[in-house]
A and B are shown apart, each in its own frame.
Chain A
């Protein structure tokens, strides 16, 4: 439509072309990332977050345990009022059975920082013990604003840095027109991340933002900074370990190609160990206290998966009752072996031929193998694979869009529980409209599919929309109270497995030698 009128305008009046030369470089009609465009995209993403944060949070008004919001608030209370050594220990002030701290120390420091801020204006909301289950309009606002500011301070700069580096290094460039603002919007408007952080209430933006910063640092050849940033990410949420094999193999692969591999490896190892030492300093005086923390971080007794996760164990448990067949110990071993086997191909690919594009694919493959096979996976863990998927939006627009959609669907029961349905619909709407922006990349990508593939995608779309509606409208049969959840899980699992095969193949197929060659040139 837009194209047609443009030519008509040209033919009609020659004078109009002069005025048309000044085509407004709106974020959706330009391919360059200038400062005003980046600010416009970022502010819009921030606006969407602020709007989602009007919604109720998880566990609002549901005593006695409430939800993740109360967990975060409780950690603020604990870190503010008890000495550092007791944060992970069961004491009279710190009852670990009530939302005990189970994230690494950086999360605890972040809670303390936020607690200090909130304590200035609303001390009763973080008072020791008496504030349990504290809920008020003001405290909700304050808590929401701590997430918003964390997002703005960590995830946003990381995303802008990544997009800048991505175009600076011309990662996977094929000469066609590619829109940098569009890529930035795809990363920042990740609907799952927005809903979980600003609706459900968590601080994934910090760990994912640190990871994203590390990825950008890797792409800009700053491996030392990347190691530090990624270590920080692990120290904020241990789930960031999903990316560890990718970082490890890529960085090791690059080190091995250098002149002095041992020195290079030692340099990075020093960065990692140094960062860990600084973060863990209060717990390093004795092995006991360190083990105390470690024990809190690995809650194996919680089972192989929680609720309904679209991963291998949960999907197949409809047929094979894994939890009954195996003990916790053998289950741990089994999941470890399967996970390692799942990420080995992409691990070796990066070790052998580290490349920028391959690194992004390997991040996706690694996180997916952990999501699908590892022990103790939440439905929210889908956020981890979705991060590299959004980074690959320009190479694989359809994959990115479809994966986002499936990721959202896999969290649909959780969203319904949290009463975020309105926000869910609106955020999908925003993501899709931006995805199909008038001059986005998808236009070229869409034509590549054959009729069969299109039919298959349409079928998937119809199925998923039907699942959405059925879940809302119908009561499940009495004999199978979780029938619809199981169907959603099965659908998403089938998609995820398909994607894993596809992206693994993509990583191995030598599509882009140039990027690997460029790395060699840099070294």
Chain B
């Protein structure tokens, strides 16, 4: 615990220094929600249109959380400073007290992550492993970038997820299910893992004789139902459910975000572009799609020129299909020790094939995978690559030159710490007799640890970054500004595809 607190405190100081850094429009969105929930009656939280770009689109529990966050602000008398004003303004113009309040609230709610990490590592696991897990979880650069620069509240949400996983691993199924219900009602993007949770809890918790099983099923149903009732109940009472759901699931948004998340659909789009280009060269008449992917607008509904259209239903079925191996495994043999791997895989499927996925969603599986990254050398290798790719895919979120050294340094420090941690953890573990291998042979072991392909892939990553930062502006100037972004998406998508396939193979083979 002492070391967990220490590691968290170091991170908290870094986060405090990030307060004046760049913040995205999400900052203003969250500020607006604070104002909305504290000044508008509950019945119109989801139908309020005072700031169309910042309308509430998280589930009610998160809205309650925002309401609770506004309470100390009113006590501190921050209302005149514009924290709780309804009209939208640019995030850059936030006054210092507002900025401090919101940034510090993110840092403070990260205590949930600390709690979860401490809970995860309180069991009897070797010191070195515990320390490595804490470092991997609490110093995740991707989380720092998304939460403390870009501005979101993923730290505490992921803390709840980890808490749930930790509880389930200990066999406390009811508490784990409760935590997951809370999580879904706070951010519905976590819904992807719900089928897996359902199958696992059904098979692992609701067992025994018919009487016992059905009693447990009812208990679990009551607990989860209570959470849902508490969060959605008031809106059901006011007849707002339709409105809530239309906000939570805006399918009109299109298959991909403005900046393509590095997933399967990147290849699909690129294939479509290549095919249409080639067919046009061959003399076919190809009608140009109405909306282009590189236009950068969130709202456009995408069109393909050659390949069949993709609808939300197709993506939904694809996700389920991709997830089916772990569902089957969980149904056949619901073992707590494989749970984290399954859940992470479920989130990976959602990320790879889902509808309108954000690059930030890769946090949902990289963070849990950190816990099991020390199970084997292969796991460590996979996590090393995956966490770098996941963090790198978030680099475009911070596009200003002021934050450039920060994101690079955050990733570099994390990579070195992973490298130190994994190589010493496995370097000695592999050597029989436990003799310490010489640290000076670091470069040799790097080859060994990463493998040739991994090293080449990382070098390519640097090449992509070099192209985007230096060569592209040098050669093309300000023309084709989307090309570096597309390159990053595509290159990271290769890594993500590999990660997905590797996880799938691991699940089929080992669990």
Contact = CB atoms under 8 A, between A and B. Distances in A.
B126 A19 contact: yes
Tell me if B's interface is mostly helix, strand, loop or mixed.
Answer: helix
Interface string A134-155: 0001000100000010000000
A445 interface: no
B405 to A, nearest CB: 5
A8 interface: yes
Q: Interface size for chain A: under 10, 10 to 19, 20 to 34, or 35 or more residues?
A: 35 or more
B313 interface: no
A423 B428 contact: no
* Most A C-beta atoms less than 10 A away, residue of B10, B405, B412, B427: B405
Tell me if A's interface is mostly helix, strand, loop or mixed.
Answer: helix
A50 B128 contact: no
B131 A54 contact: no
B228 interface: no
B17 A1 contact: no
B421 A39 contact: no
B96 to A, nearest CB: 9
Interface residues of B, number: 49
A12 B126 CA distance: 10
A427 B135 CA distance: 20
A177 interface: no
Contacts of A438: 2-3, 6
A18 interface: yes
A131 interface: no
Given A24-B424, A25-B424, A9 B126 contact: yes
Contact of B9 (A21, A54, A422, A429): A429
A47 B439 contact: no
Contact of A23 (B10, B128, B412): B128
B429 A22 contact: yes
A26 B135 contact: yes
A50 B12 CA distance: 16
Nearest to A148: B405
Interface in B403-433: 405-406, 409-410, 412-413, 416-417, 419-421, 424-429
B72 interface: no
Nearest to B443: A35
A47 B124 contact: no
A22 B13 contact: no
B19 interface: yes
B421 A24 contact: yes
Given A1-B2, A43-B416, A22 B424 contact: yes
A54 B402 contact: yes
Contacts of B130: 5
Interface in A7-40: 8-9, 12-13, 16-26, 29, 32, 34-37, 39-40
Interface of A: 1-2, 5-6, 8-9, 12-13, 16-26, 29, 32, 34-37, 39-40, 43-44, 46-48, 50-52, 54-55, 137, 141, 148, 422-423, 425-427, 429-430, 433-434, 436-438
Given A22-B427, A48-B17, 11 more contacts: A9-B127, A17-B126, A29-B131, A34-B440, A36-B416, A50-B405, A50-B409, A425-B16, A426-B13, A426-B14, A429-B13
Interface of B: 1-3, 6, 9-10, 12-14, 16-21, 100, 124-132, 135, 401-402, 405-406, 409-410, 412-413, 416-417, 419-421, 424-429, 434, 439-440, 442
Of all A-B residue pairs in the complex, the 5 with the closest CB atoms, nearest first, are A51-B17, A22-B428, A429-B13, A20-B126, A1-B2
